Amino acid sequence: MKKIINWMTRRPDAPFSIPARRRIDLGDEPATYPIYAIGDVHGCIKELQAAEIRIAEDIRQTGRAGLVVLLGDYIDRGPASFQVVEHLLRPSDLGLRRLALCGNHDDVFSKFIAQPQRYMDWLDLGGEQTLMSYGIDVGHLNLRQKSKSGDLKRLLGDAVPASHVEFLAHLPILLKIGDLVFVHAGLRPRVQIAEQDDEDLMWIREPFLAQGPGWAITVVHGHTPGNEPSVGPGRIGIDTGAFYTGNLTVLKIDGETKMFV
């Protein structure tokens, strides 16, 4: 439990240089179409598919196509991380237009693939389930031993498709449309987007949860799980712990209307 708490609250060190992730700014005008935000998936493929069916049915009923924004953490904890990534790599069978943002778990898995020995703690925090979904049984192979790190990197190279590596490495970190911001964790209060650190966008909790962004925007985020969505000053949190509750939340925003689908 202590390791999980540390994982949930810490900002990790950056032991090697990596490029900043892309931020998408679609301008100051509000969207003229509905936006559907999906919370943290965490390897729950059935819940993701069910959420997308709900969105497709809502689009069918209203006759208005929209944009689906996924807030990150596609992997870890749940049983089907490989299947979730594979699903998101393919065009939607339901005709949905999707944009997947990066979560902290996705980012660390990407770093783990490059330098597994630096990120072995990830295995205790959902990483083992992720590797199992790729056909790697860490416990059976005893790959936690430092002498085995070369073996683990070779196994990762064989087991994780290049398309998955590219997907994880190139996930954007933020989407802004008008006065709406979609991001995995939140923003550093009273700091403009251009000056936000990637680590804050993927990892922050406080002071963001209590204070909100500190300026006139609404941030839609995941990262902090709860049994119900969390509404605070200038923010809406929609991580409802799909891997343990079975509830993957979808928030629909259409102009001034906000509702759960």
* Tens digits of residue pLDDT in 225-235: 999 999 999 99
Distance CA(199)–CA(57), nearest Å, equals 36
Whether 172 maps to a domain, the answer reads yes
- Give the model's pLDDT for residue 18: 65
* Domain that includes residue 54, residue range: 35-178+244-260
Whether 211 maps to a domain, the answer reads no
What is the total count of domains within the chain? 1
Q: Using CA atoms of 27, 239, 123, 11 in order, give the dihedral in degrees to the nearest 10.
A: 60
Cis peptide before 15 (omega within 30 of 0): no
Q: What is the pTM of this model?
A: 0.92
Whether 7 maps to a domain, the answer reads no
Whether 227 maps to a domain, the answer reads no
pLDDT in tens, 180-239: 999 999 999 999 999 999 999 999 999 999 999 999 999 999 999 999 999 999 999 999
Whether 231 maps to a domain, the answer reads no
Fill in the amino acid letter for 144.
R
Whether 78 maps to a domain, the answer reads yes
Q: Which two tokens stand for residue 128?
A: 């083992």
The dihedral of CA 115, 117, 120, 121: what is its sign? negative
Strands of 257-260's sheet, edge to edge? 97-100, 67-70, 35-38, 250-254, 257-260
- Give the model's pLDDT for residue 146: 54
Whether 2 maps to a domain, the answer reads no
Q: Are 199 and 237 in contact (CB under 8 A)?
A: no
Q: Are 206 and 195 in contact (CB under 8 A)?
A: no
Whether 220 maps to a domain, the answer reads no
